Amino acid sequence: MTTSTGLRVLVTAGAGGIGRAITEAFVAAGASVHICDIDEAALQQMQAQLPGLTTSVCDIADRASASRMVADAASALGGLDVLINNAGIAGPTASVADMDPDAWEAVLRLNLTGTFTVTQHAIPYLKQSRAGVILIMSSLAGRFGYPNRSPYATTKWGLIGFTKTLSRELGEFGIRVNAILPGAVEGPRIQQVLAGRASANGRTVAQEEAAALANQSIKHFVNPAELGALAVFLASDAGRSISGQLIPVDGDSQSAS
């Protein structure tokens, strides 16, 4: 197994879903991990499960909360080597013509500006690391157009530009920056998406699941543990020459819906 022994890792939105799987992978690989999340009860549950884990309650969409959280994380860990920018919401389902502008802004505030804020405050700590790493959670929706999900797709494409730019800016400090682009991931989120499509299209959830899998070469959804394993690899010395890359984990999906 790739080791993370000694690495100090911050995972945003680490108390559920993909963030939780990434946290578990780093802890299993020997890292010291701090997670933040908006859900205090879920953070407490994670701490009970993983002794030694440190946590902050934080709303990444709130600039003051996010910047305070980074300082708390660096203080709890005694510095920072790896930042996992995982926090992101799916946002509304509506055409651009019908989009509620406030809902649009809420997605940008968390997915794009929240990622910017956390990263900006983490950079001084990462520069002091022997080998800093930033991972950014984009999506399949950062590779294709996604009808009726414009704020989500727009932010996930925006994070690609952010990744590419950060890699150019930070390489000289030995900091590597990569984006992970998951496709449909097993769990409650994909079930909600499939249920939404089923009611919109007058089909069953099973029919929507079959249609989603027909769209990819590999006929299963992504297990979140695969994303944890990839994050651990990218943060390890085995990934020391990988930066500025966009890494899809989506069974070779051919579109975003």
Ligand X SMILES: NC(=O)c1ccc[n+]([C@@H]2O[C@H](COP(=O)([O-])OP(=O)(O)OC[C@H]3O[C@@H](n4cnc5c(N)ncnc54)[C@H](O)[C@@H]3O)[C@@H](O)[C@H]2O)c1
In the complex, the smallest distance separating the C-beta of residue 53 from ligand X, rounded to whole angstroms, is: 14
Binding-site string for ligand X from residue 192 to residue 231, where x marks contact by CB under 6 A and - marks none: ----------------------------------------
Closest to ligand X by CB, 18 or 82:
18
In the complex, the smallest distance separating the C-beta of residue 162 from ligand X, rounded to whole angstroms, is: 13
Positive or negative, the Cα torsion across 167, 243, 154, 94?
A: negative
The footprint of ligand X on this chain (CB under 6 A) covers a number of residues equal to: 26
In the complex, the smallest distance separating the C-beta of residue 57 from ligand X, rounded to whole angstroms, is: 9
Q: For tokens 């690609």, name the residue.
A: 160
Which DSSP symbol is given to 8? E
Span interacting with ligand X, options 32-40, 97-105, 120-128, 230-238, rule CB under 6 A = 32-40
Binding-site string for ligand X from residue 163 to residue 182, where x marks contact by CB under 6 A and - marks none: -------------------x
Closest to ligand X by CB, 37 or 81:
37
Instruction: Report the alpha-carbon angle 21-25-27, nearest 5.
Output: 115
Q: For tokens 């994303």, name the residue.
A: 227
Q: Which of 63, 68, 164, 189 binds ligand X (CB under 6 A)?
A: 189
Q: List residues with catalytic annotation.
A: 152
Closest to ligand X by CB, 88 or 92:
88
Structure tokens at 208: 């929507």
Q: Which residues are paired to 57 by β-bridges?
A: 37
Beta pairing, strands 54-57 & 133-137 = unpaired
- CA-wise closest residue to 56 among 68, 45, 28: 68
Binding-site string for ligand X from residue 36 to residue 75, where x marks contact by CB under 6 A and - marks none: -xxx--x---------------xxxx--------------
- CA-wise closest residue to 128 among 178, 81, 85, 84: 81
Q: Which of 8, 9, 10, 17 binds ligand X (CB under 6 A)?
A: 17
In this structure, how many other beta carbons lie within 10 angstroms of the beta carbon of residue 14?
Answer: 30
Closest to ligand X by CB, 156 or 176:
156
Angle, helices 188-201 vs 205-214, to 10°: value is 110
Positive or negative, the Cα torsion across 256, 88, 189, 46?
A: positive
Q: Which of 16, 92, 151, 239 binds ligand X (CB under 6 A)?
A: 16
Structure tokens at 22: 């990434």
Closest to ligand X by CB, 16 or 228:
16
In this structure, how many other beta carbons lie within 10 angstroms of the beta carbon of residue 57?
Answer: 15
In whole angstroms, what is the distance from residue 83 CA to residue 141 CA? Answer: 22
In the complex, the smallest distance separating the C-beta of residue 124 from ligand X, rounded to whole angstroms, is: 22
In the complex, the smallest distance separating the C-beta of residue 100 from ligand X, rounded to whole angstroms, is: 18
Binding footprint of ligand X on the chain (CB under 6 A): 13, 15-19, 37-39, 42, 58-61, 86-89, 110, 137, 139, 182, 184-185, 189-190
